[in-house]
Amino acid sequence: MSIAIYPGSFDPVTFGHLDVIKRSSTMFEEVVVGILSNNAKHPLFTVEERKDMLEKAVSDIPNVSVITFDGLLIDYMKAHDISVIVRGLRAITDFDYELQIAQSNRKVSCDTIDTVFLTTSIEYAYLSSSIVREYASYGTDVTDFVPKHVAQMLKNKFNN
Ligand code: ADP
């Protein structure tokens, strides 16, 4: 059974992430979206809020589920029998970092875990969670970038 995990911060989930999720859901029998609960990053949304907004956003895709994890991704994967990581590549600037992580995950897992990269759809190439947070903090409409329920959660968070 081919299960893939798509890990990230998703703070918040954007149409760029959803594009990667939709496309990978046609390639694997099951896709697990893994929200890293990493306190060092000082996220805008709590893990529970991020899980909530992601679950709503993928509710129409039956083979996608959302989980949260902390600690090492590969430990979670080994414990749950998952051997493929999905990551998105937007630009060459993503590449250096992603290559390093993918190669070290492969090494540390003794070649049992591999990473599959999906290049971004061109209309989302510029999109990142941090850009969305920045716009939303100034009250700019972000409904071109994120689902409506996420835009509403951003409004509530920034009181605008
Ligand atoms: P992280 O903090 O781990 O980079 P993110 O939530 O920012 O987590 O991103 C998770 C994954 O989604 C990464 O592989 C990132 O490259 C990818 N991603 C983010 N935005 C986009 C986008 N607009 N198009 C395609 N992939 C994206």
Dist. CA 102 → ligand 1 center (Å): 14
Check pLDDT > 80 for residue 39.
no
**Strand 84-89 relative to strand 3-8: parallel, antiparallel, unpaired?**
parallel
Distance (Å, whole) CA 77 – CA 7? 11
Nearest CA to ligand 1 atom 17: 88
Tell the residue nearest (CA) to atom 2 of ligand 1. 9
- Number of other CB atoms surrounding residue 13 within 10 Å: 27
Catalytic site positions: 17, 41, 90, 129
The gap from C-alpha 137 to its chain's centroid, in whole angstroms, comes to 21
Report how far ligand 1's centroid is from the alpha carbon of 8 (Å).
6
Q: pLDDT tens digit string along 134-160?
A: 999 999 999 999 999 999 999 999 987
Atom of ligand 1 minimally distant from the CA of 128: 20
Say if pTM beats, i.e. exceeds, 0.75: yes
Angle, CA of 89, 4 and 150, to the nearest 5°: 65
Give tens-digit pLDDT for 64-116: 999 999 999 999 999 999 999 999 999 888 899 999 999 999 999 999 999 99
> pLDDT class for 132, splitting at 50, 70, 90?
very high
- Would you state the structure tokens that stand for residue 127, as one six-digit string? 């999109």
